[in-house]
Amino acid sequence: MDLPCREETPQNFLPLWMATENEEVATAHERMRKMEVRMAKLVDEAATQRDHLKAEIAATRAREAKLEGLLKHQILLSHAKGMADDVFLGPGDKETDALYVKRLIARAENEKAIDELQGELRLLQNERNELSNRIQQLMELNGKYARLCVELAARLSVLTDHNIAIAVDCKRHQNEVLVEKQRSERYQVEIQVIRNVLMTLFMNRNHSVQSWWESLREKRMKDATQVLLNLIEASMRFPSTPQTSEGSKTSRHTTDERRQGSELEEEDDSDAKNKEASSPYQAADDNSLCHMWIPSAGNNPETPEHLRSLSSVEYIRINPIVAERAVYVILSEWGCDAELRPLDIFTRDYVLRAMKSSDASPIFTLQKADQVSAAEETNSHLPITYAIDALSRSCSCGSLTYAFGLVTRRRVNANLFRMLELDAAILISICRYLDIKRSLPGKPRGLIPVVQFASLLVAMYPSYPLVRLQQLLGAARNDAGNQMDSMELLNYNVLLPERLFLRSAFITVENAGALWDTHFKHLLYKFVCDDVEGSWQAVEDALCLYASRVNVASESQLLYQAMSELPKEGRKYWLPSIRVALSCWDDLRADKASVLLDGMPRVPVKAAARYLRGQLLIRRGTCPNSLRENEELLSGLQERWNKFAGSYEKLNFQYYAQLVEILDGKRHAVWGPASMATDDVMRHIGPSDDLSVGALLARLQKTKETNK
The model's pLDDT over 573-622, given as tens digits with 9 standing for 90+, comes to 889 899 989 988 888 877 766 666 666 788 888 899 999 998 999 999 98
Domain identity same for 276 and 309: no
β-strand partners of 601: 596
pLDDT confidence bin for 457, thresholds 50/70/90: very high
Mean pLDDT of all residues in 7-32: 76
Split into its structural domains, the chain has a count of 3
Residues 265, 217 share a domain: yes
The amino acid at residue 426 is: I
Q: Are residues 237 and 188 located together in one domain of the fold? A: no
Give dist(CA 503, CA 481) in Å, integer. Answer: 27
Asked if 297 and 273 sit in the same domain, the reply is no
- Asked if residue 498 belongs to a domain, the reply is no
Q: Kindly tell me if the per-residue pLDDT of 426 is higher than 90.
A: yes
Letter string b/e over residues 50-68, b meaning 16 or more CB atoms within 10 A of that residue's CB: eeeeeeeeeeeeeeeeebe
Give the per-residue pLDDT at 336.
84
Q: Which of 455, 502, 582 is nearest to 328 (CA)?
A: 502
> Does residue 558 fall inside a structural domain?
no
Asked, for residue 100, whether it belongs to a domain, the answer is yes
- Please indicate, yes or no, whether residues 217 and 351 belong to a single structural domain of this protein: no
Q: Is the pLDDT of residue 456 over 90?
A: yes
Position 266 in a domain = yes
Do residues 158 and 28 both lie within one domain? Answer: yes
Shared-domain flag, residues 302 and 159 = no
Tally of helices (H runs) and strands (E runs) in the chain: 23, 10
Q: pLDDT-based confidence at 106, cuts 50/70/90?
A: confident
Q: Kindly state whether residues 226 and 319 are assigned to the same domain.
A: no
Q: Is residue 71 part of a domain?
A: yes
Say what percent of the chain tops pLDDT 70: 71
More confident residue, 625 or 670: 670
Confidence band, pLDDT 50/70/90 cuts, at residue 501 = very low
Q: Which tens digits make up the pLDDT trace of 269-301?
A: 444 334 333 333 333 334 444 557 888 888 888
Residue 416 confidence (pLDDT) = 93
- H or E element at residue 56: helix 14-87
CATH number of the structural domain spanning residue 35: 1.10.287
Range of the domain at 159: 11-202
User: Structure pTM?
Assistant: 0.58
* pLDDT tens-digit series, residues 336-360: 887 889 999 999 988 888 877 744 4
How far apart CA 664 and CA 670 sit, in angstroms, is 13
635 domain-assigned? no
Instruction: Let me know if residue 542 belongs to a domain.
Output: no
Among 290, 306, 337, give the residue marking a domain's end: 290
One DSSP character per residue, 596-624 reads EETTEEEEEHHHHHHHHHHH-B--STTS-
Task: Show the CA angle centred on residue 560, arms to residues 559 and 561, nearest 5°.
Answer: 105
Name the residue with higher pLDDT: 492 or 4.
492
Please say which residue of 290, 311, 327 terminates a domain: 290
Confidence grade of residue 110 (pLDDT, cut at 50, 70, 90): confident
Domain boundary among 155, 184, 202: 202
Residue 322 falls inside a structural domain: yes
Same domain for 266 and 316, yes or no, is no
Are both 31 and 130 inside the same structural domain? yes
Residues 194 and 223 reside in one and the same domain = no
Same-domain check for residues 17 and 40:
yes
